[in-house]
Structure 1
Amino acid sequence: MTTIVLLKSADKQSAVREVLGSVVGAGETIHFVRVPTVRCLGSLIQETKPMINYDVDYTISCLPDGYDVSELVGFATESDANRICIEITERTLTGKARIDDLTQSILLHETISGDFVVGDHVIILEELEYDA
């Protein structure tokens, strides 16, 4: 299985740990994708040690400046991703996950569909299906 983890900040170890600890399994492939405003994920990934503790293969990449959500969906299609995990960066006063514009655009994109799950630190779109 292949998972894309979209990170909007470099200080959210909890989101990465949730994905590695309860979403993906051993032997899976993870593509950590950062938005352009996040300079580097190397230290975040290194602190969670996915290769050692979780037995997964991973890549780190960045969306280009001025990206469109179609580029992320295109990447998911090309890599045949089974799920997209999106870091929750904000919550309402009552503790509910706040859906930002990027997350909404992914969830509502016309060529991708799947089951919607809200975790403690990530929103997961799983069982992905792609329309041509």
Structure 2
Amino acid sequence: MSNLQELSPAEQRQHRQKMLDLLEHHGQGAVTDIGVEKECTLHIDGAQCPAILYVIYQPEKNTFSAKSMNAYLEHVISQSWPSASAFAHDVAGDLYDHGLPYALTLHLDIEHDGMVESFEVRHNQPGPPAIEN
């Protein structure tokens, strides 16, 4: 797969469409869901990895404002992580524990060791998050 930093305009549109598709298939209340998209560099196992992070949630059912969500994401992005999977799982778990118990989807596309990996953590109701790779 291509380097995330070298995406063509068409590939960038595909990433944006992925977020819209996640919203569409997210379940009940998707019309009122909001998404935060962050293009960032994650520090994974000592390497700097370009990434695109999406967090989709229902603001009326949760306690995070857009401002607090952005502040939280900036905080976790600045930290070092042992793996992309650990980042996705821990961030979704933190959000779940601190005010996003309903209809949360975290999707991460990350380049690491020359490959692009995708991780998605979802939970549509209270309970432990499910992780897919």
Q: After TM superposition, is the score higher than 0.5?
A: no
Judging by fraction of residues, say which structure has more helix: 2
Give TM-score scaled by structure 2 length: 0.36
Judging by fraction of residues, say which structure has more strand: 2
Higher relative contact order (CA 8 A, sep 6+): 1
Give TM-score scaled by structure 1 length: 0.37
